[in-house]
Structure 1
């Protein structure tokens, strides 16, 4: 009898954990454990995917993990989908991925080496046959490796317009450029006026550009403030043209310093089935002071009658289950 009782006591916590997982109806924040930042979220088929930066010391930030979910609540980790061993020119940190699918291939754009004048590095692109990789360097060199218009070549986001043209918005150091990409992502192609780079920097822009389209309006978004400090935040503009002009409207993320600070560098995902929009972002939990102690979180975003984004209150609860 004693042996049976001990055995039951031993398995009760396991059963309790399983029941808790089964009954989980909301994501909670963070949505998965570990220090991860700069999350790029996307829908591939019937799954949500998040590709974040591994948030650690510069010299350790040399690989990417990815996470997938069918409902925004239960997440599966895919380790080391790309690392610097597959990108020979990336000798130092890699971060801030941008991802997309085209012609049954999966592409991952990334920044590497934190390029400064005279240094090798910039924006690269890798390709795989499935979302979880493994990804391989597409070009064997950076796609962009120079500083143009004062924009550090980092924090790229790739956007496809209604005509099928791919644009890449990128830039740190308070400047944002947009370029046109060749359809195979092998190089830049000029605009109609012959130029390769156009600066589209909105007021207070620092880094982390992102764009999505809703009801014919292009929402251009970016991060402001310093990523290591508490004032990091996300702002946005609205335009009828994907190339702007972009006039700052206001702040999207409203921080709650009882929960976290440094909320920024985000992406947006849309569930066409429920017509819900979500902002996936990183933040630094209350009490954490280390710059790289950042976690990936999610909130629902909503719009007013004029299409403007209603400021988001960051939460511990996250979002409710939402299947595709």
Structure 2
């Protein structure tokens, strides 16, 4: 009876959370939590770090999403099944690359589903909503937000970005094409740009997939993944612009494999501790010796800048990062 009362008193903590907490750890270690997880999006909500990854499995098994939270980047708590196929009536497989934002009192989770290969198939980019960062999330509009190939971009790998003026944009695209679209205030539709267009192609040289954007010192840092996602050449490059629309001219590659540590480092996100101002890159990679394309793990390392504001090449590690509470 005592165990049952304990679980009822703490409904937000799963059994796996108790097992994963280890106060003796001094660094996060890489991977930061167990299991095959990829395409991680990191966010900060209140006094907690959050990571929303793809469950890395065969597309037919990739039908749910978990989330992970931490107060210090070292000890992580698992929140299972925040979104499931059953919560999205049009989704049947390949639910991946979540991107989340908080607006008002709600959390909006953008995700890809079904891996559509043409405009004749049902699927694309959807939106789910919840009152809590750990869900449960429910389909926001009952259909995909983007369900067609615009400018040859497969509707996958979405990233929701809030600009300085409060406008939200969606960067997305596979098949080596990237679009930006302007989101409506209720996140239920795409609204026209000033020129009347709905989707603007911004594809930089070398782009394959996995777009990400952040602002630093008034500049827009646009990042993406290059190479093949199952290969050792998977990596991350970036550009800097004065506008969220670009133009984005490739500067350099900043994240890639280290043959002594892991292969295929890519599909990332970036967070900054607002107090210490330190930046971190959260990404996936393939452990040495793994040949299964879906055997990817989520990792974190420090990301630094030089005196010109350029991103220094990231050193991937087994140690990860030290504790840095918010």
Normalized against structure 1, the TM-score is what? 0.93
The residue number in structure 1 matching 2:9 is: none
The residue number in structure 2 matching 1:95 is: 96
Q: Deviations over 1:42-69 (max 9, x none)?
A: 0000000000000001100000000000
1:145 and 1:153 in contact (8 A); partners too: yes
Q: Distance between the aligned counterparts of 1:183 and 1:290, measured in 2?
A: 41
Q: Distance between the aligned counterparts of 1:318 and 1:108, measured in 2?
A: 27
Q: Mark the runs of 5 or more structure 2 residues left unpaired by the alignment.
A: 1-18
- Rg larger in structure: 1
Q: Deviations over 1:226-277 (max 9, x none)?
A: 0011100000001111110000000111421121101000000110011011
Q: Pick from 251, 255, 258 the counterpart of residue 256 of structure 1.
A: 258
- How far is the alpha carbon of 1:104 from its aligned partner? 0.9
2:270 and 2:282 in contact (8 A); partners too: yes
Q: Distance between the aligned counterparts of 1:147 and 1:277, measured in 2?
A: 34
Q: Deviations over 1:190-240 (max 9, x none)?
A: 001110010000000000000000110110000000001110000000111
The residue number in structure 2 matching 1:236 is: 238
Matched, 1:304 2:306: yes
SS across alignment from 1:59: coil
The residue number in structure 2 matching 1:247 is: 249
The residue number in structure 1 matching 2:277 is: 275
2:227 and 2:235 in contact (8 A); partners too: yes
Q: How do 1:1-324 and structure 2 match up within 5 A?
A: 21-117=22-118, 118-324=120-326
Q: Distance between the aligned counterparts of 1:22 and 1:52, measured in 2?
A: 24
Q: Distance between the aligned counterparts of 1:162 and 1:61, measured in 2?
A: 35
Q: Deviations over 1:162-213 (max 9, x none)?
A: 1111110000000000000001100000001110010000000000000000
Q: Distance between the aligned counterparts of 2:193 and 2:284, measured in 1?
A: 34
Q: Mark the runs of 5 or more structure 1 residues left unpaired by the alignment.
A: 1-17
RMSD across aligned positions (CA): 1.0
Q: Distance between the aligned counterparts of 1:21 and 1:208, measured in 2?
A: 32
1:255 and 1:313 in contact (8 A); partners too: no
Q: Deviations over 1:66-125 (max 9, x none)?
A: 000000000000000001100000012100000010001001000000011111100000
2:265 and 2:286 in contact (8 A); partners too: yes
Q: After TM superposition, where is structure 1 displaced by more than 4 Å over at least 4 residues in a row? A: none
